[in-house]
Amino acid sequence: MVIIETKALTYTYPGGTKPSIRDVSLSIEKGKFVILTGPSGCGKTTLCRCFNGLIPHFYGGELKGELRVAGLKVDEHPIYEMAKQVGLVFQNPENQLFALSVEKDVAFGLENLGMPRSEMKERVNWALQMTGIEELRERAPHELSGGQQQRVAIASVLAMQPEIMIFDEPTSFLDPLGAQKIFEVINELKNKLGVTVILVEHRLDLASKYADQVIIMDEGNIVLDGEPREIFNSETAWLLGVGVPKAVRLWNVLQENGLVLKGAPVSSEEATQFLREVLKR
Amino acid sequence: MSVFEGFRFRHATSPIHRLDPRVKFIYVLAMFIVTLIFTQFLPLVVLFFLQVPFVFVARVRREWLRSLRGALFLVIMIFVFNFGFSYLYQNYTTVASLLEYSLAMALRFLVLVESFSVFFLTTSPDHLSLALEQSRVPYEFTFAFTTAVRFVPVLAEEAQTIMDAQKARGLELERGNFLKRVRNYIPILIPLIVSAIRRSLELAEAMESRAWGATSKRTNLYVLKMKLGDLVLLFSSILLVAIGVYVYYFVPIPPLSRFLPPLPF
Amino acid sequence: MIEVKGIYFTYPTGVEALKGVSLTIGDGEFVAVMGQNGAGKTTLVKHFNGLLKPAKGEVLVDGVSTRDVSVAKLARKVGFVFQNPDHQLFSETVEEEIAFALRNFGFDETTIEKRVTWALNLLDLTEYRKTSPFMLSGGERKRVALASILAWNPNVVILDEPTIGQDHRQKENLRQFIVQLNGQGKTVVVVTHDVEFVAECNPRVVLMTEGKVVADGEAKKILTDTTLTLTASIVPPQITQIFLGLKDLGLPFDVIDVSEARRILLDYLEGAKH
């Protein structure tokens, strides 16, 4: 079942001379893990903001084309309605936490929605549990590490139980171990709850193993859209300067040297496995 | 900055911390009223020492002392001003009574500082904002308040980083005459302001994405409920005002000189 | 030359960030200070230009203790590029921004003009000379920050987490630029947790964890040592991970680089043929 669908989506920021996204047509199925990537300035952040209504409602500007998210036409619904279906976790953990305790932050969205207190308490507990941060519930956000803060942000969005969760470069400020933890949490949400995940990332070596679909953008257009294996293997991805995982690069390089290889690994574990088979021959 | 330390919330578990901030505020108000009623030294001394047990129960003795120390400068000024002014304008009966009056004025200020200090030291900003919300203050204001408090340490750190970055480019903040020194702060203020603006934009995006404005009937995860301790404090505060008024009208208060050995003046 | 002799440092908040660190960085070296967030990397390098002074021990820059000299004076020799360019940009034009440090250091206007032009050229920013830095994109602002530090030609350049938020191509450009800088004889110190970035450069690595240096040596040796990477909570490079999984086939595992990996695998297959 398709949960996000766009046709010829084009958007220009107010005062912008050219569109940030141009003629974008894609479809994303419910419950899938999609990686959205591309060089800086390609429009991936803009596209994410279209999905939850920040564009056009918060930013203004001109949005053309069709866009349907969770059955809703984005331009016809205010952001607070979209927020119930689509959650957005931002890049900087510090600037998404408002309250003086983790608990209160996780409840923020629910308070805004006017949820009764007893129900709210249950949701907050559930969200803290799902993201593994129950022991942090009374801490102040400033005392937490970047990785912990991001998990709080994820919990606060999760608490609203959206069908779709979008993560805009959530690990930019985290070290690789912290980044790994975040990707694991995100993957858990997809597996356990069936949340549709859209992850905008540059660090493909850590995240690619979770993806069902990879979309690569460049200069506002979608350039590649398909299965991770074929996308990462393609020449185009490499030419665009996308950070294709090293495992794939090794594979390509071996193939250039005449090795006949089947399949392409997307993660280091797969690469080890595949190589083992090749070497045993 | 030490005087501010005497007013910043100190996290601890004490019965005082657990009291409803609205009731604590009424206590402060009561203190305020009673303190202003009296201009004699003795009742003010009583009021001063009346609050000391609170300080110990709340375990905020160190910070409280700091606030008093910080207020010392103003206290001395008030004393000097009152004494000097009245002396110059011959506005007194005896020097002893003038001394007592000036001391009382200074003490009055100290008592006020004391009660406000205890209030702020034992009330977390979260608690405070909750009290404001339940007192029907529009949520926009309480939200602005809590968010500001939340970001104070973040901004402080950022200011330090910016200073470091500019110092590493040869900026010397300590040098130069007054005008130059003021100009030297431009490379610090501008990045700070720009950063604050960028931050507000990101915060706004995050707020909107978490359904800000979905309904005017916002609910709250916490709720303030008045407990026995709160009712006791409430009652005591009202009693305090009542006693204060009674004493003012019906109980003659001896001047300080009655208790001291005879003075040359 | 930077000599660090048994330094300890505690922040005013009470956090003990450095617990006895000693090392020496010679002129012209290329060093990557690595470790997870909170290990003390940034705290350490802030001692190199005197922004922080050690509580115990001392830091000598070209034989002079950082306690005896102002930050401004040390900055002449040691340039520090901060992580977030927005923490230093404040001028009306890119030109002014780059000239700022030069003015602070007392260069005359003619030299300033020349140096600014040179720095703009070096970082491909000539077209933005008269542009406001706030109008530029994130990547361009990073280049302006870098240009403004390189303008006064410090002997040592410290870069604090330069790869954060950058896409692959930008990282590649940065890497080549850093290698170029080092090739020109500058001492380059990069604070980073980006293992892949370091694997591509293979510099000297100083690995830190919890305020101490746990390893100091060649990137290849350190990043492939599983005990070390576990202690320091860092993730080994992908190529290393792949080879660690093939250890039992008798393949070496101190590999961090794709071309070396290819060579080893092809050799193995050649060998296996016979």
Q: Which of A109, A117, A124 sits opposite B210 (nearest CB)?
A: A109
User: Is the CB of residue C252 less than 8 Å away from at least one CB of chain A?
Assistant: no
Band the pLDDT of B159: cuts 50, 70, 90. Answer: very high
Q: pLDDT per residue over A59-89, tens digit each?
A: 998 899 999 999 999 989 999 999 999 999 9
> What b/e string do you get for C242-255 counting C-beta neighbours within 10 Å, with b at 16 or more?
bbbbbeeeebebeb
User: Is the CB of residue A116 less than 8 Å away from at least one CB of chain B?
Assistant: yes
Residue B149: per-residue pLDDT: 86
Residues 155-174 of A with CB under 8 A from B: 156-157, 160
The reply to whether residue C101 touches residue B161, judged by beta carbons under 8 angstroms, is: no
**Contact partners, residue A91, CB within 8 Å, separation at least 6:** A168, A169, A170, A172, A173, C165
DSSP string, A134-194: GGGTTS-GGGS-HHHHHHHHHHHHHTT--SEEEEESTTTTS-HHHHHHHHHHHHHHHHHH-
User: Given its phi and psi angles, is residue C233 left (phi above 0), alpha (psi -120 to 50 degrees) or beta?
Assistant: left
User: Is the CB of residue A122 less than 8 Å away from at least one CB of chain B?
Assistant: no
Question: Does A133 or B91 have the greater pLDDT score?
Answer: A133
User: Is the CB of residue C240 less than 8 Å away from at least one CB of chain B?
Assistant: no
Check pLDDT > 80 for residue A261.
no
Q: Which residue has the tokens 């990137």?
A: C219
Closest CA to C161 of C187, C136, C198: C198
Rounded to whole angstroms, how far apart are CA atoms B261 and B167?
61
- Bridge partners (DSSP) of residue A148 are none
Size of interface B-C (CB pairs under 8 A): 61
Phi first, then psi: give them for residue A216, nearest 5 degrees: -110, 130
- What's the mean pLDDT in B45-55? 85
Mean pLDDT over all residues of chain C? 92
Size of interface A-B (CB pairs under 8 A): 108
The three-state secondary structure class of C200 is helix
| Pairing of β A2-12 and β A21-29 | antiparallel
The three-state secondary structure class of C195 is helix
Rounded to whole angstroms, how far apart are CA atoms A104 and A189?
21
Residue B7: per-residue pLDDT: 65
Does any domain span residue A109?
yes
Class of residue A81 by CB neighbours under 10 A (exposed 0-12, middle 13-18, buried 19+):
middle
C101 contacts on B by Cβ (under 8 Å)? 169-170
The reply to whether residue B172 touches residue C148, judged by beta carbons under 8 angstroms, is: no
CATH number at residue A87: 3.40.50.300
Rounded to whole angstroms, how far apart are CA atoms C254 and C270?
20
The reply to whether residue A113 touches residue B214, judged by beta carbons under 8 angstroms, is: yes
Chains that touch A (3 or more CB pairs under 8 A): B, C
Does any domain span residue A279?
no
Window from A73-87, A241-255, C161-175 with minimum mean pLDDT: A241-255
**DSSP secondary structure code for residue B193 in this structure:** H
The Cβ-side half-sphere exposure at A277, using a 13 Å CA radius, reads 11
The reply to whether residue B221 touches residue A116, judged by beta carbons under 8 angstroms, is: no
User: Given its phi and psi angles, is residue C2 left (phi above 0), alpha (psi -120 to 50 degrees) or beta?
Assistant: beta
Q: pLDDT per residue over B199-237, tens digit each?
A: 999 999 999 999 999 988 888 888 888 888 888 889 988
Band the pLDDT of B1: cuts 50, 70, 90. Answer: very low
Check pLDDT > 90 for residue C155.
yes
Does any domain span residue A207?
yes
Closest CA to B190 of C136, C132, C147, C115: C132
Q: pLDDT per residue over B79-116, tens digit each?
A: 888 888 887 877 777 777 788 888 888 888 888 888 88
Rounded to whole angstroms, how far apart are CA atoms B151 and A99?
10
Tokens of C105: 């250091």
The three-state secondary structure class of C156 is strand
% chain B with pLDDT above 70: 92
Residue A180: closest CA among chain C residues belongs to which residue?
C235
- The answer to whether the bond into C133 is cis (omega within 30° of 0) is no
Check pLDDT > 80 for residue B3.
no
Band the pLDDT of C37: cuts 50, 70, 90. Answer: confident
Closest CA to A81 of B218, B205, B143, B215: B215
**DSSP secondary structure code for residue A214 in this structure:** E
Check pLDDT > 70 for residue A178.
yes
Class of residue B138 by CB neighbours under 10 A (exposed 0-12, middle 13-18, buried 19+):
exposed
C258 contacts on A by Cβ (under 8 Å)? 246, 249-250, 253
The reply to whether residue A80 touches residue B212, judged by beta carbons under 8 angstroms, is: yes
**Contact partners, residue A117, CB within 8 Å, separation at least 6:** B219, B220, B221, B223
Rounded to whole angstroms, how far apart are CA atoms A186 and A184?
5
Tokens of C217: 């040596």
Q: pLDDT per residue over C80-107, tens digit each?
A: 999 999 999 999 999 999 999 999 999 9
Does any domain span residue A64?
yes
Q: Is C225:C209 a contact under the CB 8 Å cutoff?
A: no
Residue B4: per-residue pLDDT: 59
- What's the mean pLDDT in C166-185? 92
Give pTM, 2 decimals: 0.88
Domain count, chain A: 1
User: Is the CB of residue C105 less than 8 Å away from at least one CB of chain B?
Assistant: yes
Tokens of A131: 């993201």
Residue B265: per-residue pLDDT: 58
Does any domain span residue A243?
no
The three-state secondary structure class of C270 is helix
Give the domain ranges of chain C. Answer: 1-83+161-235, 91-152, 237-274
Does any domain span residue A199?
yes
Q: Which residues of A touch C (CB under 8 A)?
A: 38-41, 91, 145-147, 169, 172-178, 180, 202, 205-206, 241-247, 249-250, 253-254, 257, 259, 268-269, 271-273, 275-276, 278-279
Tokens of A57: 């409602």
Q: What is the dihedral of CA A122, B215, B199, C142, to 10 degrees?
A: 90
Domain of residue A154, residue span: 2-228
CATH class of this structure's domain C1-83+161-235: alpha beta
Q: Which of C196, C235, C272 sits opposite A180 (nearest CB)?
A: C235
User: Is the CB of residue C194 less than 8 Å away from at least one CB of chain A?
Assistant: yes
Mean pLDDT over all residues of chain A? 91
